[in-house]
Amino acid sequence: MRAVFYTHTAYFESAMSIVRALSARLELHVLMEVSPRAWQLAGFDVQRTHYSSSIVAADRLLKPRMPDEVRTFWREAASFNIVLHDARRFYAPGSLRVSLSVLRMIRDLAPDVVHFDSTPLRLGLLSVIWPQTRYVLSEHDPRPHAGRPIGESTWPG
């Protein structure tokens, strides 16, 4: 079985445990979104680099910034790429371009399952594009936090 796991830096610690467990059982391709304000978020504490919106191999970006002990969590994945966005807004030209690249990458992988680690607004139309694909959504915070208006997204960036 082939799966794509799309996550965000806000869930880095829990995502890496999921990646390690799933990689032992299936062909797992990991995509981790990094938006401008998400470089130092939760366990993903990485100095911001000056990449434009693009898809970068995780080891290329993270190897010099993460200890080997952390990198063992994703070494068994079939692939691990960082999806870099240089703008907060999903409709910014660079974000649209890289989101379309991600959609093409997922299409080319032809996964049996796409697992979203929370709701990715940038890829929200995916289920319309590939209705035959199975989707899994892990919603970490189904209720808004104190002070957050109802209906506001929990997806950072």
**pLDDT tens by residue, 9-46:** 888 888 889 999 999 999 999 999 888 777 766 667 67
Average pLDDT, the chain: 79
Specify whether the CB–CB gap between 3 and 26 falls below 8 A: yes
Domain covering 2-138, topology: Rossmann fold (3.40.50)
Residue 33 or 137, more confident: 33
- H/E stretch holding 95 reads helix 93-109
pLDDT digits (tens, 9 = 90+) for 77-129: 999 999 988 876 666 777 788 888 988 899 899 999 998 887 666 666 555 66
Name the DSSP letter for residue 8: E
